[in-house]
Each structure stands twice: as C-alpha cells, then as structure tokens.
Structure 1
C-alpha cells in the first residue's frame, strides 16, 4: 500500500511544471495498478505499518482513483484559460492522498485525522474555483457543520482508548454498554458527512457554489466517507445500535420522502442533483442502520453506484453551464435542439439515477429494499413512495431540460467535445460493467 502513497507524492511536483495531462495519465496508471491489488477479504490484508485494505476500502479507494482522474478531465477549462491550473492540480492530488489514507487507515484515530483533513483541500476548491460570491457562505456552512459534529467524536475516541488501550480496527469489539451519549457522539460526525436529513443544509449550498470538480468529488467520494466511517465504528456499537438505530432508519426514510418533494420544485439544475444525493445517501444510511447483511452490502453497492451516477450528472450540468452560462431550468429548456447528441447521455444517466435496469443503482436499491423491509414491514410503503418520486423528479429534470421552447438567446448549434463524451462514457460504462461482477458483493 505504501507504494501507492509514494507514487501519489511524486505526482505532486509535476503539478508545478504544467504537466496537466501527465498527472491525469499518472492517476489512471496508478488506478490500473491498484486494480490488480484486488482483495475480496473482509479482514485487513495488503498491510503496511499503519495502513491496510479490505474489500470495503478497496472498492472505495478504486472509486477515489477513478473520480479524481475524471475531475481533471472535466476541469479542462481551468487548464485552457490557465486559471491557477498548477495550484488546482496540486489540490486534487492532495485531496486524493488524504482520501486514500482515510480509506486505508487501520486505526480509528488515524482515520479521524484524515477524515477531517479532507475538509481543507475541498474548502480550497470551493473558495478558489467556485462560481458566485456565495461560495464563501457555502464554504463556511461546510466547514462549521463538519467541525461542530466531529469534536465530540474525538473525545469519544480518546475515552475508548483510555478504557481499552487500542484503536486498531481489527481489535475493536462490541462496547457492551448502552451509553446513548457515547453512541450519538461516535456516529453524529458521519451522519452530518453523509448527510442525514436535518443536517443536510450544507450539501446543496456547497454543490451549487463548487466548481464541477468540487461537485464531483463531493458527490462521488466525500459523502462516502460518512458511510465508510459507520461501517468501521458499528463493530463497537452493536448493542447500542440494536436499541437506538430505529431513530435513524425512520429519519433517513421519511427525510428521503420529504426531500423528494423539495426536488420537485427546484429550478437550479445542480441544486436538484444535490438534493437527489441526500435521498440516495438516506437509503444508504437506512441500510447500514439495519445492521444485517443485505443492508451492509446494499449500502456498499449503492455508494459505488451513486458516486459514479451523481458525478456524471454534475458533469452534464457543467457542460450546459459552460455553454449557456446558466443552470436555471426556466432558461435551459429545449436542450435536445441545442445539443442533440448530448441528450442521449442525459437520458442514460437520468434513467440510471432513478435505478432503471441494468444499472448498479437498481441492484443497490433491491438489496436495500430487502434489508429495510425485513427490518420492519411498515417501511415497504415509504420505500415504494420514495422510488416513485425518485422517478418523478428525475423525469422532471430530464423533460424540463431537454424539451420545451428553446430560449431565444441561445442561437448557436452546439456539439460536445470528444473529451466530454469520453468523460460521460467513463461514468456510465462502469455502472453496467460492475453489475456483471456483482457476485463479488455476495462472496
């Protein structure tokens, strides 16, 4: 594992020699090498001194490699106009390094350290390359929501270490006391990061103001840090979880239902996609909180699927924004006339966002449905209504943007660049490919 960290560190100096595409190529080579490091074990293997890799970390690190490579491809306009492109690429490599360390740390305190460190490069991406002046407010929301929730977690980690003398993931065991405060403080930081309904306000703001690369990494990987953290800490909170988890399952499912209604009245394209992320991560949260096999594996599949699909939709929104200078659904009507070839990609990624077959999203939703319904049959109705409204707001987004009377200010006929088609293909293709390898999820 150390060799991948060293490779990434040696990519950093290249960012100061205007080697934009070389760094991009380096990340994909590194991803290719890491792919052959495959593990299907639920125990840590590929161990170095303080880092290791099991099947959950492996899949999420692979996703991080992929999304960081695609971020560089999507942000080509920064390179073209030389808008501090060297600094931009440096922050992407730094963010990737922090994510790699977060997902591969085998100690709770190290995971906490890198989990919080991911805040800094993301904040610089939002502040430095965001669009509107409101990005300062969005960045502050992001910063203070995350920091407010994480301090109690640090205190709990130190308390646990003081009691038992170890924070290694392999040595964590069921903390067999029903301390609600300990339980709440340990998981609250992850609930904010996912984000759970009630503490989701920072996410739409951060997404709308972030550049395309910021939105991609936020939707693709950073939200998954919360789910990954829950995977890791629940091995010591099983007793408490059996008593209190019904609260979070209820909030996540009902919250998903309410946010579906919010999605139906969004006029900003990026805001709509951001709110749909809250719904998907609510499903993931509900699956993890049931603490059964279907739920845990379904949450993992859903995190991978959502990371690729949501990132692709943000790329599409950015392609429209670069040409028309707006993301308002009232102005960007009739895109099928303006960019007919891009309409196919809108259709494919929108249909996958509402879990149409044969997508990985569908597999994740079926597994989560099994989990949540077996936990309590009342959830059946909520889940079904959520699935219906998921289709409703996705169709609303697709039909409003693609059909209708084209705005008279848009007079040119535009086609996409080859780079953009490749970028969208690389988001869409793995969603089809991985479902054929889905047996790996059931080993």
Structure 2
C-alpha cells in the first residue's frame, strides 16, 4: 500500500514543469491498473502494515478515487486551453488523491479522521479557485462550516475511545462495545453530514452549482462516499445503541429522500438537479447502512460505487453542454438532440443508469437496499416506492427537457462533441455497467 502513496508523492514534481497535464493523467491511469492487480483477499484485510491495510471495501473505493481523479483531468481540458493555473490545478488534484487514498487505506481511527478532514482542503480550493460565480465563496463557507461543525465531536469521540481502550485500530475495535448516547451521536454526526443526510444537506447543492466540473465530479464521486465508508467502519463499535436509535436516521433519510426527489422537479439548473438527486440516492444508502444487516451493508457499498460513476458522468454531460452554451439553465439547454445527436445517446445511457435500469451497478445496489429496508420494516415500502418512482421521474424530466423541444434561437456558434468527451463518458459508463458481472465479490465479502 505504501508504494502507491509514494507513487502519488513522486508525481508531484511533475506539476511544476510545463506541458505535463496529460502525462500526469496517464500516470494516474497506470497507477489504477497497477492497483487493480493487487492480491486482495475477500475475507480479511490484506497488504497489512502498522498503518495501512486493504479489504474489499477500501479496495473498491480507492480504485474509484484514482479512476475519478484521472477522469477529472480528462474533463478539465478547458483549463489547459485557457492556461488557467494548470500547474496548481494538477498539484491540487494529486494532493486530493493522496488524501483520499490515505483515508480509505488507514487502519488507525485518528489517522483516518486526519485525512478525512484533510480531503476538505483541496475541495475547497477547487471550488473557490476554479468556480464560476462570485457565490462560490459562500458555497465554500457552507462546505467548510457544515463539515467542521460536525467533525469536532468526532475527534472528541476518538480521543474518548482511545482513553478508554488504549487502542484505536479499526480491526481491534470490532471486539469493543461503547454504549453511551453522547458518544454515539458524536461519532455518527460527522459522517451523516458528509453523506449528506436530509436536514444537513444544504451545503451540497450549493457546492455543486458553484464548483467547476472537476470539483463536482470529485464531490459526487468520492466525497459523499467518505461518509458511507466512515459509517460502515464505525457502527461496528456502537452496536447496542445502534439497534435502539438507528430508526431515527432511517426515517429521516427515507422521508427526506422523498422530499428531495420532489424538489428535483422544481430545479431549473442542470447541476442543481443532479446534485439533489445525489442527496436522494445517499438517503437510501444511509437507510441501508442503518438497518445493520447483510443486505444493507452490501447494497450501500454497491450503490456508493455505482452512484460515484453515474453521478460523475452526469456532471460531465452537464459541463459539456455548459461549455457550448455558457448556461446550465434548463430553459436554454433545450432540443440538444438536433445539435448533438450522438451526445443524446450518452445522456440516455447515464440517465437510465441513474434511475437504476439494468445492467447498472445502481440496480443491484438498489435491489439489495430495498431488500434490507423491507426486512427491517414493511412500512418503509411506502417511501421506497415513492423514491423509486420519482427518481425515474426526475431522470426522465431532465433527459426530455434537455434533449427534446425547440432549441434556443440564440445558439449561433456551436461545435459538436469531440472524441475526448466521448471517451470520458465511455469510461464512466463502461465500468458502471460491466462491473455487475463481478458483483459476487461484494456479496461474498459482506
């Protein structure tokens, strides 16, 4: 595991040389294929050292991180054309990848916390440095304060656990049980904000709308998954109280998911709509994790990977339109099928994955989550039906609104898709729909 960390660190000097943009991207791809070939055991942690380890959950999320970071560079060619602080952008990317890699591979709870919070800094720089409107400062503040407000209690909780058990290694915490209400809330809150759960989700649409395409991709692709990963790791030592109190989060998430999916129909900004749909999906994921059963853990992990690829691809599509029309408004992005018929196919493919059509990973994840929530309580069926129906609804709404209709007459200058963009979308869609063939790996592990 250490070798990949050093690979990222030794890529950093390349950022200070000229014309290294595509080299860094190719090196990330190389690193991804090297990481894929690690020998990972399905049943227990492998590649162990004092700090690092890798099990299936870490493996999948690290792989997703490297993949999305590589695709972010591919999507940000506009920065390269304009020469807008490209070297600093590359540095920021590598720093972010390093933070994410370390977060997912740490065994020590405190080190996990450190890198979990560290990943906030490059994201903030992305939004404030490369965002579009002046409101990006406010969005950055929302992101910072929501996350930091919730994560101080987490730090206190980690210190408390260390004080009581003289140990904060994830692996040994399996054998501990801490049943204090205050500890339970302080440990869980930071991850619920990061997910984000309904009520503490307001920072996400703001951050997405103001962020550049790379910022949106990393936020949707990886940042939301940090919360789910943290919950899957932490809930092991809070079992007794979780069985008592988890119904609160499940109810909030399911009812919130329904509200948010209605809110999606009110959006006029493409990015905002995709961001709210992320909140809706993550609500179901929180519900699945909180049921504490086999299907729930499995489905949440699958949906996190699937959503990371799908949502990131949809932000790429929104950005492709934005680069042509200089607007993200649904009123102006109309009738795109006349202009870019082949791009229309990609809109369709990614939208269908977003509404969990087969053969996407989202389908497998949602089936598992519905199983888990239904076995927890049959009443959850009502909300799940509504969420499933409306998520298909807003995906269709976005697709039909952007692709059909009479196009805006002010479109005088235009160029169709370039091969880089089609490759970018292919690299989102292909793993999303091919990985369902190896879904048994995840099933066995959980």
Residue 264 of structure 2: aligned partner: 263
Aligned residues: 443
1:243-258 matches, within 5 Å, as 243-258=244-259
1:171-320 matches, within 5 Å, as 171-173=172-174, 175-320=176-321
**Residue 335 in structure 1 maps to residue 336 in structure 2:** yes
The answer to whether the Cα contact below 8 Å between 1:174 and 1:238 also exists between their aligned partners in 2 is: no
CA RMSD in angstroms comes to 0.9
The answer to whether the Cα contact below 8 Å between 1:101 and 1:114 also exists between their aligned partners in 2 is: yes
The answer to whether the Cα contact below 8 Å between 1:338 and 1:412 also exists between their aligned partners in 2 is: no
Provide the C-alpha distance between the structure 1 equivalents of 2:418 and 2:178, rounded to a whole number of angstroms.
58
User: Which secondary structure does the structure 1 equivalent of 2:334 belong to?
Assistant: coil
Provide the C-alpha distance between the structure 1 equivalents of 2:317 and 2:426, rounded to a whole number of angstroms.
12
User: Which secondary structure does the structure 2 equivalent of 1:237 belong to?
Assistant: helix
The answer to whether the Cα contact below 8 Å between 2:178 and 2:237 also exists between their aligned partners in 1 is: no
Residue 9 of structure 2: aligned partner: 9
Give the C-alpha shift of residue 412 in structure 1: 4.1
Give the C-alpha shift of residue 174 in structure 1: 5.6
Unaligned runs of 5+ in 1: none
Provide the C-alpha distance between the structure 2 equivalents of 1:40 and 1:379, rounded to a whole number of angstroms.
35
- TM-score w.r.t. length of structure 1: 0.99
**Residue 405 in structure 1 maps to residue 406 in structure 2:** yes
Provide the C-alpha distance between the structure 1 equivalents of 2:268 and 2:175, rounded to a whole number of angstroms.
47
**Residue 82 in structure 1 maps to residue 83 in structure 2:** yes
1:2-151 matches, within 5 Å, as 2-18=2-18, 19-151=20-152
Provide the C-alpha distance between the structure 2 equivalents of 1:43 and 1:235, rounded to a whole number of angstroms.
15
The answer to whether the Cα contact below 8 Å between 1:174 and 1:237 also exists between their aligned partners in 2 is: no
Cα displacement string for residues 360-419 of structure 1 (whole angstroms, at most 9, x for unaligned residues): 111100000000000000011110111000011111100011111111101345310100
Give the C-alpha shift of residue 11 in structure 1: 0.4
Cα displacement string for residues 177-232 of structure 1 (whole angstroms, at most 9, x for unaligned residues): 53211101000000000000000000000000000000000000011000000011
Cα distance change on mapping 1:4 and 1:123 into 2, 3 Å:
same
The answer to whether the Cα contact below 8 Å between 2:56 and 2:442 also exists between their aligned partners in 1 is: no
The answer to whether the Cα contact below 8 Å between 1:126 and 1:214 also exists between their aligned partners in 2 is: yes
User: Which secondary structure does the structure 1 equivalent of 2:411 belong to?
Assistant: coil
Cα displacement string for residues 282-307 of structure 1 (whole angstroms, at most 9, x for unaligned residues): 11100000000100010000000000
The answer to whether the Cα contact below 8 Å between 1:92 and 1:121 also exists between their aligned partners in 2 is: yes
Give the C-alpha shift of residue 175 in structure 1: 4.9
Give the C-alpha shift of residue 104 in structure 1: 0.2
Unaligned runs of 5+ in 2: none
User: Which secondary structure does the structure 1 equivalent of 2:394 belong to?
Assistant: helix
User: Which secondary structure does the structure 1 equivalent of 2:42 belong to?
Assistant: coil
Cα distance change on mapping 1:4 and 1:176 into 2, 3 Å:
closer
- TM-score w.r.t. length of structure 2: 0.98
The answer to whether the Cα contact below 8 Å between 1:339 and 1:413 also exists between their aligned partners in 2 is: no
Provide the C-alpha distance between the structure 1 equivalents of 2:107 and 2:36, rounded to a whole number of angstroms.
20
Residue 352 of structure 1: aligned partner: 353
Structure 1: which 4+ aligned runs deviate by more than 6 Å? none
Provide the C-alpha distance between the structure 1 equivalents of 2:233 and 2:421, rounded to a whole number of angstroms.
37
Give the C-alpha shift of residue 70 in structure 1: 0.2
Cα distance change on mapping 1:418 and 1:158 into 2, 3 Å:
same
Give the C-alpha shift of residue 42 in structure 1: 4.2
Cα displacement string for residues 49-93 of structure 1 (whole angstroms, at most 9, x for unaligned residues): 311111100000000010000000000110111100000000000
The answer to whether the Cα contact below 8 Å between 1:203 and 1:274 also exists between their aligned partners in 2 is: yes
Residue 381 of structure 2: aligned partner: 380
Provide the C-alpha distance between the structure 2 equivalents of 1:176 and 1:437, rounded to a whole number of angstroms.
34
The answer to whether the Cα contact below 8 Å between 1:174 and 1:239 also exists between their aligned partners in 2 is: no
The answer to whether the Cα contact below 8 Å between 1:341 and 1:415 also exists between their aligned partners in 2 is: no
